[in-house]
Structure 1
Amino acid sequence: MGCYIQNYMDRDPGPGAQDFTCGPLAYDGHKGTDFALPDDSIMALGVPVLASAPGTVTGIRNSMPDIRFSDPGAPPLEGRDCGNGVVLDHGDGWESQYCHMKQGSVSVSLGQQVATGAPLGLVGLSGRTEFPHVHISIRKDGETLDPFAPLATSCAGAPSGESLWADPLEYQAGGLISLGFSDAVPEYAAIKAGTAARETLPTEAPALVLWGHAFGPRAGDVLQITITAPDGSLFHQSEASFERTQAQAFRASGRRAQGLAEGLYTGQLRLIRAGKTLSEATTTLPVRR
């Protein structure tokens, strides 16, 4: 699974938050688009942030640590909510800003001219953030514009035909971020770190559990969890509900075992909203003696 859009620009003029489709994938006052990575392990591999258009580098920060804002060890932001980042001037009043980049990864210098697609640095976890991502803001004459609906003055209830993206991006109203097998319900911190999924399990494992991590689940959504045994028979199936709308959440289910059959187990997740499958994913796990 690759990157996904966790938050869009807030189009609600009041204290609430709505994305450009009037959906909940935004938070109050958010002025950009958040392209997120599935977990910290992907961030550690090094995912480049690219210039959205040709321009001149007019701002840089590169020294803030990669640490979640809620972590007790996180330093005070002191107005540096963007974390490490880059500002580009595209001329004629247009600017783009890239935030939360990885410490020490910014690879451009002030005054440098960059082309479309030029690497600026790497996706990180710096500043006011709880997940690895790059926040991109677009401004015209100092005014922030929503690249998905730049001409709209509020949410429209459906994607607009207007867009600033060279290649239109499909709106995702929520979906699966990652999934995996374990021998117990994992800690949420392990899921976010990318260390929760087991590559294999022994036949004497005490249980077989399938977990799924989702973004944008809404109240009433259901995660269908299915595990198929090596011989093709149904090992376990359940449905886990979401009681409230959240930015991210995980659910897990499985079965205790008194000895697992050797072979390849298949796990399937389906995120269901209003009776329709919004997102689905499959994974496998070898069980060995």
Structure 2
Amino acid sequence: MVRSSDPARVPGSIRLGPICAIPALLLAAPGHAQDLRLRLPLDCTLGETCFIQQYVDADPGPGHADFTGGPLSYDGHKGTDFRVSDLEAMALGVPVLAPARGTVRGTRDGMPDRIMTDRADVADRECGNGVAISHDDGWETQLCHLAQGSVLVDTGDAVEAGQPIGRIGLSGASQFPHVHIAVRRDGEVVDPFVEGLWLEAPAYEPGGLLSAGFADGIPEYEQVKAGTADAADLPADAPALVLWGSVFGGRAGDVIGLTITGPDGNEVFEQEIALERTQAELFRAAGRRLRAERWDPGAYAGRVILMRDGQEIDRLDTQVVLR
């Protein structure tokens, strides 16, 4: 699967205490931001192999908004969520890194990696497997949802920025594989984007494509999230040829374009699907049923494009070989 270039992307290959106990959102006082400088907490390439799905909730009321006023957050969210595309990507063992020099204040390990279905199951352990790090001048970072058995540090250990401390996982109150990084000063939540804490500030992506692939029918969403829905090849008598795309940060009115091109370069199928509501994560699929005894053998190309207000947000190219 190949992510095609667009104005906001570079071409590339496809990519403790409970959180709820953190005090309500309060930004650090101006002038203190340079006391702490953060590197990214994952060893990955943003926009290609990892993505920021949710930011600190900047809305003090019952609604939610990210620091730009966009919808990439949820009510009361107190950190930044760096995710990978699916469980297959998680299984590759993506390292979680210490965001800055400090001393480990506490750790937790041993919680299973699984999609949370009942929050009561992780009460007072919403962070899952995690590491809390104390930094100078009252700063603290907390990294949550690490993979079971992956935590590499102990309480009291000194860590350097960029040092591996675990692997990305799905433990605790989690619906997708990611690491949640919370930043606090003197116990108060700080948004690192608002306060300019990043050594290299990640570009804001208002949504995008996580993955894409071919199947011989509409896949189950569990297959898409697991990373098992994309077929590298299919039999020439497959009952259908279906292209699908997985999206994060989809908004009502967005349009997903799905195009399949045959081995001869001619278009086999094309459809545009409009999203009816805003969703943090979703997928759409469409294709064509077999109309003869067999498909023409060869490589079929698929292109998935996410459009917003008539502008292309992201695109992914993929292919399948029919034999």
Q: What TM-score range do you get, normalising by the shorter chain?
A: over 0.9
| Match of residue 130 from structure 2 | 85
How do 1:1-289 residues align onto structure 2 when only pairs under 5 Å count? 1=14, 2-70=49-117, 76-150=121-195, 163-257=196-290, 258=292, 259-288=294-323
SS in 1 for 2:183: strand
Deviations 1:166-200 (A, max 9, x none): 01210000000000000000000000011000110
Q: Please state how far the C-alpha of 1:70 moved relative to its aligned partner.
A: 1.3
| Match of residue 30 from structure 2 | none
- Runs (4+) of structure 1 exceeding 6 A deviation are none
Q: Please state how far the C-alpha of 1:76 moved relative to its aligned partner.
A: 1.4
Q: Please state how far the C-alpha of 1:52 moved relative to its aligned partner.
A: 0.5
In 2, the alpha carbon distance for the partners of 1:122 and 1:202 equals 37
SS in 2 for 1:191: helix
In 1, the alpha carbon distance for the partners of 2:95 and 2:189 equals 24
User: Which runs of no fewer than 5 residues in structure 1 stay unpaired?
Assistant: 151-162
TM score, norm. by length of structure 2: 0.84
In 1, the alpha carbon distance for the partners of 2:87 and 2:122 equals 21
Cα RMSD for the two superposed structures: 1.0
Q: Please state how far the C-alpha of 1:78 moved relative to its aligned partner.
A: 2.4
Deviations 1:224-264 (A, max 9, x none): 00000000000000001110000001000100013211111
TM score, norm. by length of structure 1: 0.93
Counterpart residue type for residue 103 of structure 2: T
Counterpart residue type for residue 70 of structure 2: G
Counterpart residue type for residue 249 of structure 2: G
User: Which runs of no fewer than 5 residues in structure 2 stay unpaired?
Assistant: 1-13, 15-48
SS in 2 for 1:76: helix
In 1, the alpha carbon distance for the partners of 2:261 and 2:50 equals 28
SS in 1 for 2:279: coil
* Identical amino acids, percent of aligned pairs: 54
SS in 2 for 1:216: strand
In 2, the alpha carbon distance for the partners of 1:44 and 1:228 equals 31
Deviations 1:125-154 (A, max 9, x none): 00001101000011111111101112xxxx
Counterpart residue type for residue 30 of structure 1: H
Counterpart residue type for residue 204 of structure 1: D
In 1, the alpha carbon distance for the partners of 2:130 and 2:154 equals 11
In 2, the alpha carbon distance for the partners of 1:79 and 1:53 equals 26
Q: Please state how far the C-alpha of 1:219 moved relative to its aligned partner.
A: 0.3
